[in-house]
Amino acid sequence: MRHTGMKEVHKINYGKKREGKMIRKQTKLWKTANGSRIRICDMEDSHLENAISFLDKYKVMKEAYLIRSGYEALVFLRGEMAIDCVERDLLSLEFYGLEPCEVHPLYKNLLLDQERRKKMNKEKDTTQNDKNANSPILGFFIAGVQHHQMHKILDGLDEGGYFQLVAEPTNKFDPNAVRIECSDVMCGYVPKKFSSEVAGLIEIGTKLECVIERLDKKAKPWEQCFVHIMEVEDA
């Protein structure tokens, strides 16, 4: 089996100035089937996976060959020290296999870059999920604070704290009214211009959280507490 990537290891130096000095960085190059050279970090994912798959198979073949050769050598060896040495090597091969550098000089570099990409993709997926889940839907100052009881619990509130949202369909002024409560204390309402949207989400069973984003206890009552409402996805 022939693979041009296994012929040789190439290095390329990239320089950059730092405080008047040239810092040299060595980047190892992988030789492709057509003879061109490419930095491992610039390889396409499929190219990287194919190279690793090839070396994985080569590693298995080489280990099998060495183990077979070792057992064949035991038949002809004389002397306890020589036999013990070969047996130790065989035991190591059978349990641990070859080190990446014993397979190919760039095998370890390829594996490290594979892990780096997996980590980056995982972080990217996590970031995207965080953007999609728990994303704020609305933000507003709580309405009607001056007419209710939030002042009684104001000292115990902190940014990042939570309120409860309670639909109030029997409200004679707004059938879409949604109360904002904290520990059974009536604090105010979702502003009327947003109430139909929030009430609709509650009605269809959407899980919502009302989170304190900004809190200014010295401001006027209707400007003390700015909250945002988030849709929460089930884990």
pLDDT tens over the chain, length 235 residues? 444 444 444 444 444 444 444 444 445 788 888 888 888 888 899 999 999 999 999 998 988 888 888 888 877 777 777 778 878 888 888 878 888 888 888 989 999 999 998 888 887 776 666 555 556 788 999 999 999 999 999 999 999 999 999 999 999 989 999 999 998 999 999 999 999 999 999 999 989 999 999 999 999 989 999 999 988 876 5
Tokens (6 digits) for 111: 């594996």
Q: Which pLDDT score, from 0 to 100, does residue 41 have?
A: 87
Looking at the structure of the chain, the number of domains it has is 2
Element (H, E) at 59: helix 45-76
Domain span at residue 98 reads 4-131
Out of 131, 160, 184, pick the residue that ends a domain: 131
Out of 131, 152, 181, pick the residue that ends a domain: 131
Out of 71, 96, 131, pick the residue that ends a domain: 131
Examine the domain organization and report whether 207 and 191 are in the same domain: yes
Q: Which pLDDT score, from 0 to 100, does residue 141 have?
A: 95
What share of residues in the chain are helix, strand, coil (percent, to 5)? 45, 25, 30
The number of helix segments (H) and strand segments (E) in the chain equals 5, 9
Examine the domain organization and report whether 50 and 86 are in the same domain: yes
Rounded CA-CA distance 87/82 in Å is 9
Examine the domain organization and report whether 54 and 145 are in the same domain: no
Q: Is 175 helix (H, G, I), strand (E, B) or coil?
A: coil
Cα three-residue angle 89-111-63, rounded to 5 degrees: 25
Q: Which pLDDT score, from 0 to 100, does residue 211 have?
A: 94
Q: What is the pTM of this model?
A: 0.45
Examine the domain organization and report whether 193 and 109 are in the same domain: no
